[in-house]
Chains A and B, each alone.
Chain A
Amino acid sequence: MLTLLLILLPIAAGVITLLAGERMAKQLALVGGLASLGVAVFTWLQFDPAAGSQFGFKYAWVASGGISFAAGIDGISMLLVLLTTFLTPLIILSAFKNEYKNPAAFYSLILFMEAALIGVFTATDAFLFYLFFEAALIPVYFLAAIWGGENRIKVTFKFFIYTIFGSLFMFVALVYLYYQTPGTHTSEIAAFYQLQLSPAAQGYVFWAFFIAFAIKMPLFPFHTWQPDTYTESPTAATMLLSGIMLKMGVYGLIRLLLPIVPLGMEQWGFLAMILSVIGIIYGSIIAIQQSDMKTLIAYSSFAHVGLMAAGVFSSSLNGLQGALIQMLAHGINVIGLFFIVDIIYSRTKTRYLDQLGGITQSTPHLSVYFMVLLLGSVALPLTNGFVGEFLLLSSVFQYKGWLGAVAGLTIILGSVYMLRLFQKSMFGPKSKWVEGFQDLTASERAVLLPLVIMVFWIGIYPSTFLKITEPAVSQLLQLVNN
């Protein structure tokens, strides 16, 4: 039942926020987000990693067809629910300093988004998964299309078309799988795991899933919607997209693709791996010369996701555990970095590195927070990025030595573009754009401090999080390897 509560609570909070109107919208939304976080932590405290799917519910949807509203929480879900509920209130709080028109709608959309994301991460029925997967698109689409930058209409349309296109592939695959289940058919994900499909069929389903999730994350070469969308969207939407929503894609690979079509993996996994690794290098190289800070971080995020996917396609314990902990770390770092860009933009009205410089002279706090998040992002040991990157790269290296070496270039290229970002904005002589730059406000620190604490928690004591997922991942890998 806790799962149901986790899904319904943000919806309820969203509705209340919407009804309560302009004045209290922010505050109500924040309370709603924190309440969800509270429930998630409460769930975590009772969660037993070894006990499989817990706190579930199941209601008939199409009873005769074996389709139901069914959700539950295993280790993998638990981690992503924690990620979602931890980041959502911070995303809400990060928007406080900007005045958005129609704030009630703005904040309630964030909460609806949260509900949909939790739904995706907990659904145990394939069609319910699909429903939430699609539903998550709607709030973020409106956030981008209504509150975005100048080119928002064109850009969000591209984004919408891409993701819809991808999802339809998945839908086809799910319908197909559903009809393959024995008896009166069922859409339980667990039942899909038991299917014995022919290698050819597995190949088709593999690509259908791959395209859907590759677009969502995105993976090379399905990524061209992403940099523009990240750049044009209001920062809160960019955070939702990069911090949490793209994890739906990685989650989909882990939850559906790996265990349902292991033979498909055997045939095509190498190609998928190559595409992922190309993405790492391709995204990193493009990031090196970007001038718009948001675009730069967008490409960096694209590169990081490529490594997560590569870890998943290695179908090893290291790779999956690395991908999961990296999802958590990446969510934290990328949200922090986008927030810092937003802080700089709100004060200077520019995001162009050529116009910035010397900010650090008047902002000791901002400099430290920025530096810590950057270090997390370049995977310095004892920060959150290292644990994931270490496990991921080691898994790719075990898969194929040379691929591991190529993917490993990310640690060099990442430091190239990230240090350039920091140097051009923070160091050097003070540019005229940054005159009178004020250091962080209390509410800005309230967003950044929890992020920085998590950077070190995950970096210094990752066991807390690795333990949540390890039994579920091992179980999943048994399905893959049988």
Chain B
Amino acid sequence: MSASLLILIPLLPLAGFLINGIGFPNIPKGAVGIIGTLAVVASFVLSVMTFNAFVASGSQPFIVPLFDWISVGDLNIPFSFQVDQLSLLMLMIITGVGSLIHIYSIGYMHHDSGFGKFFAYLNLFLFFMLLLVLGSNYVIMFIGWEGVGLCSYLLIGFWNKNTNYNNAARKAFIMNRVGDLGFLLGIFTIIATFGSVEYSEVFSKAAAGFQVGDPVIITITLFLFVGAMGKSAQIPLYTWLPDAMAGPTPVSALIHAATMVTAGIYMVIRSNVLYSLAPSTLEIVGIIGGATALFAASIALLQNDIKKVLAYSTVSQLGYMFMGLGAMAYSASMFHVITHAFFKALLFLGAGSVIHAMSDEQDIRSMGGLRKKLPVTFITFAIGTWAISGLPFFAGFFSKDEILAHVFEHNKLLWVIGLLGSIMTSFYMFRLLFLTFFGTFRGTHEQEHHLHESPASMTIPLIILAILSAVGGFIGVPEALHGSHQLAQFMSPLYDLAKTANPAAFEHTSLSHSEEYMLMAISVAAALISAIAAYVMYVQKGAVPAPDSEEKSGLQRAVYNKYYVDELYDAVFVKPIKTLSNVLYSFGEIFIDLIIDAFVKIVSLGAKLLRKTQTGSTGEYVFAMVIGIVVILFWKLLL
């Protein structure tokens, strides 16, 4: 695999962005879709070729230097790419799912006047996302990190006539920037500690020169994790993600489910040497992940907007991945990144198909019975639901159970939280499925009249993703189920250095097969019971969530209103800063003027006194004299 082909992987989407962006709106829609999609598909083909070449040549990681980017004194930040197991997996997810979502968008966005702009932004997003995973150092990762944040901002606020959408976009950017500051401080600490930001150098120095639990490493990993919290929407920086659903649905699928939001997990796995040296950071990662998984799942239980349910579900699933990371189950978390990319992209695109058919209706209380009119959407959505609920033997079953098994070994309480979360997951997903596709139609006549299955450009990606959601888990079948876990084997060289740095952490007291079977049985049974409960409630009894006008009990109201966290942030951060801004502008500035006036008076007084003092030093005498003259002149001038 030559370096120039590798460079094309991010450059092709960039070229697509430039062509469609500069050409907008003069390029015809047909051409826009083809250019935008081809750029990504070609990238995908190149990624697969790179992957094959990598495996064929003995899985040796390599670095492709491009040019010196920022170089000051001893600090050199090269612009270079690193190809290894982790970047290759990410490349294939990003370009693979990305290709499908581009194809889908051709149909979904067809009537939009900003079609060309939309494809340009999507391409730009992929460029930055690819930089994020290809970079060979933290600062290149940071370029991608902030770049995807920008694209997320542009796409959430894509329909920019709507002020609410714009506010959601701005919130996403700002909240991500809070995380980015953490990331940046992490990078600064890395520079101060290792004198470099290159992964290879940082990790080898860390492994060789630092003890487990070293405070510097803990500081670095905590700072980096703050960045991960922002991008991957973990408590307390998660509230932007549900609002981000303001963006067109393909954006929610690509950016806010399958790729960008998993960047935080990528970052931790990339830094596994550092995290393996910082067990206390890992504890925090696991706790935050567990808390987020449960908290977000509970909110999803009562949401009535089809995309909001999926959004909270994404936050919750990302929490599972961090739980896994906390238990040092790096490969298991990556496994879940992959399977989640399949089924969550599928679910969002399915939701998009529903919204498309329902003339932009998103409230599931107005849906019902759609399975007859939208059979492909229904079947694929059902597969996605089955997969995310962790029911055998679809993709989510393998990856989630693997995470839970590791968490069980590590911390029983977190495992219980994870189990509770997966009970909720199964319930809210089947609730969503049943309310949308079962029962009778509850929307308007006009909507009913308009109901239709989506065009092929939208259903084909759904079908492909459904297949992947069904069988994707087989890349990681555990030994207990007579598999060989190809994914874990493929990824294991990534941890070689971490194993030398902290060997004890990798010596798992491996669960026996019978224990593993038991854990699987418990979580499958729990998920099944939830699914059945949802069936009884929403299909047999035909319950429909109450309209907003109806009074709710205290707890229900709190959950329905997302525990008032937005209101809390508003009261604690937003309003005080605005008030402070007004106060400083109205009073602070005048106050400073007064101080400066007083300062001038003191100086002039001091100068008069100084003139009377004989210090003997000519120099100081001259100094005092001139200052005195000057100040008196100045004072006269003012009066």
Contact = CB atoms under 8 A, between A and B. Distances in A.
Interface stretch (B82-90, B287-295, B297-305, B593-601): B593-601
Given A171-B626, A201-B619, A398 B173 contact: no
Nearest to B161: A429
Given A222-B596, A381-B142, A397-B192, A318 B619 contact: no
Interface string A298-325: 0000000000000000000110011000
A172 interface: yes
Contacts of B619: 176, 179-180, 201
B577 A428 contact: no
B634 to A, nearest CB: 6
B577 A288 contact: yes
B24 interface: yes
A412 B71 CA distance: 25
Given A222-B596, A381-B146, A285 B626 contact: no
Contacts of A322: 72
B581 interface: yes
A201 B618 CA distance: 12
Contacts of A381: 139, 142-143, 146-147
A466 B76 CA distance: 12
Nearest to B584: A286
Given A286-B584, A428-B160, A380 B150 contact: yes
B68 interface: yes
Nearest to B162: A428
B606 to A, nearest CB: 11
Contact of A404 (B188, B589, B600, B634): B188
Contacts of B73: 317-318, 321, 470, 474
Contacts of B162: 428
A15 to B, nearest CB: 31
A407 B123 CA distance: 34
Interface string B7-29: 00000000000000000110000
B160 A427 contact: yes
A282 interface: yes
Interface in A268-309: 282, 285-290
Given A165-B600, A405-B185, A466-B71, A221 B592 contact: yes
Contacts of B185: 397, 404-405, 408
Contacts of B630: 168-169, 171-172
Nearest to B580: A285
A173 B623 CA distance: 7
Contacts of B142: 381
A346 interface: no
Contacts of B638: 161
A419 interface: yes
A393 interface: yes
A426 B71 CA distance: 37
B150 A375 contact: yes
Interface residues of B, number: 64
Contacts of A221: 592, 595-596
A480 B143 CA distance: 34
A180 B72 CA distance: 35
Listed residue (B68, B73, B595) with the most chain A CB atoms within 10 angstroms of its CB: B73
Interface stretch (B176-184, B266-274, B466-474): B176-184
B52 interface: no
Interface in A410-444: 411-412, 415-416, 419-420, 423, 426-430
Interface in B167-198: 167, 170, 173-174, 177-178, 180-181, 184-185, 187-189, 191-192
19 contacts: A175-B622, A176-B622, A176-B623, A179-B619, A201-B620, A222-B596, A224-B596, A318-B72, A321-B73, A360-B160, A375-B150, A381-B143, A382-B143, A401-B189, A419-B174, A428-B161, A428-B162, A428-B166, A429-B163
Interface of A: 161, 164-165, 168-169, 171-173, 175-176, 179-180, 201, 204, 221-224, 227, 282, 285-290, 317-318, 321-322, 358, 360-361, 364, 375, 380-382, 387, 390-391, 393-394, 397-398, 401, 404-405, 408-409, 411-412, 415-416, 419-420, 423, 426-430, 460-463, 466, 470, 474
